[in-house]
Amino acid sequence: MKVGIPRALLYHRYGRFWEEFLAGIGAEVVVSRRTDKVLLQKGLSHVSSEICLPIKIVAGHIEELVGKIDVLFLPRLLWLEDKLYACPKMIGIVDIARMMTGDRVRVVAPKIQGSLWLPHFRAGMELCHDPMRVARALTRARRHIPVHDRTPLFPDGEKRVALLGHFYNIGDDFISRPMVDTLTGHGYRICTKDELPESVLRSRQGFARSIRWVYERELYNAFRFLVDKVDGVCMIVSMGCGPDSLVAEFMRDEAQRRDRPFLQLVIDEHTGTAGIVTRIEAFLELAERRQARALQISDSRLKIGGQGRAA
């Protein structure tokens, strides 16, 4: 049995877990190729132009798999801990997939509500019918569920920029490569939320407690943790994403209060690489001017302090 997984959305967090699990129950796993313009065009033909870019991309990956697989494996994430919900469009992608595929492909879509274990066990039973094998496959595969418990180091003198965005945007080279290449090409270390410990991302302190979308809470908590440790914050927002746009405004206001450059990049299928590069370079120039100004102030204070001691 060939089971297909779209290389999009939740795949960028749970992909290795799914591949190991499905292989463990005896499926031949087929993962769609990396996102490119052809896949995006396929997606555009199946969904509304008003839908955000990640959904257009995953639609293209689904269409790419049809005809090559027997089963489409597409978990539906409703909420995780603390009843924090996923984006409605992400929840609805399973229904879009069923409309797209019709009777051409069977769709297996475990419904995740808090726990990963039980929904995946039930999905495995749909495909394997051997509870012991499914349980063993889940046990082996769970080591691939990303767990971060260490805080990264931030050495003095290092040029750093926070690149904030959902893992399915940062993890897709088609979306993030121009940004990553430009930032690293100017000598900056890129800090993302996915390198931060769970204790930071899941925090309920302050405004984060009021955020009821799981991945927006992660973004905001990552911003609060990183903003004073980086030279600037660059945030990727998908056109048409209401939750992202709302949270980004709170980030922008706080970055201004802390005198940190903040760049919001709104992306869709029409976004050009040249425009992104130009905006990031202007953003980095602001960051470097701020650094130079901070150094001048520091030097001035040292000189004044030295004169005071000499007197």
Length of the chain as a residue count: 311
> What is the pLDDT at residue 295?
67
Q: 120 with 27, same domain?
A: yes
Distance CA 65, CA 101 (A): 10
CATH number of the domain enclosing 16: 3.40.50
Q: Considering the domain boundaries, does residue 154 fall inside one?
A: no
β-bridge mates for residue 113, sequence order: 79, 115
Distance CA 165, CA 12 (A): 13
Q: Considering the domain boundaries, does residue 138 fall inside one?
A: yes
Q: Considering the domain boundaries, does residue 240 fall inside one?
A: yes
Q: 132 with 197, same domain?
A: no
DSSP codes, 70-113? SEEE--EEEE-GGGPBPPHHHHHHHHHHHHHHTTSSEEE--EEE
Q: 178 with 276, same domain?
A: yes
Q: Considering the domain boundaries, does residue 86 fall inside one?
A: yes
Place of tokens 């990956």: 61
Claim: this prediction has a pTM higher than 0.85: yes
- Among candidate residues 94, 112, 144, the one where a domain is terminated: 144
Distance CA 165, CA 116 (A): 23
Q: 6 with 85, same domain?
A: yes
Q: Which residues of the chain have pLDDT under 50?
A: 311
CATH number of the domain enclosing 165: 3.40.50.11900
DSSP codes, 10-51? THHHHHHHHHHHHHHTT-EEEEPPPP-HHHHHHHHTTS-TTS
For the chain, give the longest Cα–Cα distance: 88
> What is the pLDDT at residue 148?
82
Q: 241 with 269, same domain?
A: yes
Place of tokens 């978990």: 75
Task: Report the chain's terminal Cα–Cα distance, integer Å.
Answer: 85
Query: Buried (b) or exposed (e) across 90-103, using 16+ Cβ within 10 A?
Result: beebbebbbebbee
Distance CA 124, CA 126 (A): 5
Q: 19 with 69, same domain?
A: yes
Q: 166 with 133, same domain?
A: no
Query: Buried (b) or exposed (e) across 113-131, using 16+ Cβ within 10 A?
Result: eeebeebbbebbeebbeee
- Among candidate residues 84, 115, 144, the one where a domain is terminated: 144
Q: 174 with 135, same domain?
A: no
pLDDT tens column, 35-54: 999 999 999 999 988 899 99
- Among candidate residues 110, 144, 178, the one where a domain is terminated: 144
Q: Considering the domain boundaries, does residue 153 fall inside one?
A: no
Place of tokens 């302190």: 205
Q: 173 with 106, same domain?
A: no
Report angle CA 184, 277, 158 to the nearest 5 degrees: 25
Q: 219 with 98, same domain?
A: no
Q: 121 with 164, same domain?
A: no
pLDDT tens column, 168-211: 999 999 999 999 999 999 999 999 999 999 999 999 999 999 99
Place of tokens 């997606």: 43
Number of independent structural domains in the chain: 2
> What is the pLDDT at residue 308?
56
Q: Considering the domain boundaries, does residue 90 fall inside one?
A: yes
Q: Considering the domain boundaries, does residue 213 fall inside one?
A: yes
Distance CA 120, CA 178 (A): 35
Q: 139 with 210, same domain?
A: no
Q: Considering the domain boundaries, does residue 155 fall inside one?
A: no
User: What residue numbers bound the domain in which 263 lies?
Assistant: 160-305
Nearest CA-CA partner of 21 in 132, 124, 131: 124
> What is the pLDDT at residue 242?
78
